[in-house]
Structures are given as C-alpha cells and as structure tokens.
Amino acid sequence: MSRPVVGVALIALAWWLLAGDLPTFGPSGPYRVVIVYDGDLLDDMDEDQRALIKSLAVRDELAELGHVWERAYTTAALDDVPADTDLGRMARGLSDNPTPCMAWAPLGGGEVQEGPLPDDLAGLLEVLK
C-alpha cells in the first residue's frame, strides 16, 4: 500500500472513530454562560433548575461540550461586579430581567443574548445549540 493511500485510510479511520463524539454548535458557539438568580428564592426552585446554578456536574457537562460556565450571581451581588469587563457587562445586563435568567455569548466575541434560565440541563443545552 502506498503512503498516500495509507494516509487517506488513517484519516478516514480517525474521522469514523471521532465523528460520533464531536460537539456541534450553532453559527457562533461555543458560548460563555452567566446566570443571575434571586438568592432568597433559591430554595423555591425545583431541583433541576437549582442544579444549573450550583452543580459541578452541570459545569463539567458544559465544559465537555466546549462551553464556559462563567459564574452564577445573586441579584444582591450584581452591584459588586466590575462593570468594565465583558463578564461584568454580561451579568449587569441581566439586572432588569426576571430571575432566574441567563446570558450567553460566543467565546470568540459577539452578541450577548439573554433569556430565562431553562428548567433543566437539557433545556440549557438546547438554548446553547
């Protein structure tokens, strides 16, 4: 077997082995994610939504898919967030939204989008498609 044929065969094999495991993103993903919630109402949220805010497993899942979970802020903590950073602008931009809410922006820069915090991880991943 000649070298070019072996090279093509190895590339095809690698593609076949990896194709099912590669994440796909929308036109601008992967994303940075910021969450804002009312700390006084955290106990009133259902377990799945509370996990989006507190769970290390959720953060790990986002990281595996190429996203960056930046931080979850309580509404009371927003005043302490520096307004002169990208993260601060994302978080402070949520201050007028009903909580819990989230902002997401492409890692490479781009438009920040805002919306309500989904009910569970599947809903969050759907938003970040």
**For 45-83, what is each residue's pLDDT tens digit?**
999 999 999 999 999 999 999 999 999 999 888 888 888
Residues composing the chain: 129
Give yes or no for a contact between 109 and 28, defined as CB atoms under 8 angstroms apart.
no
Give yes or no for a contact between 119 and 49, defined as CB atoms under 8 angstroms apart.
yes
Q: Which domains does the chain have, with CATH numbers?
A: 24-127 (3.40.30)
Q: How far apart are CA 40 and CA 31, in angstroms?
A: 28
Tell me which DSSP letter residue 82 carries.
Answer: -
Instruction: Look up the pTM and report it.
Output: 0.74
Task: Give tens-digit pLDDT for 11-45.
Answer: 433 444 454 444 444 556 799 999 999 999 999 99
**Residue 8 burial (CB count, 10 A):** 11
HSE-CB of 50 using CA atoms within 13 angstroms = 9
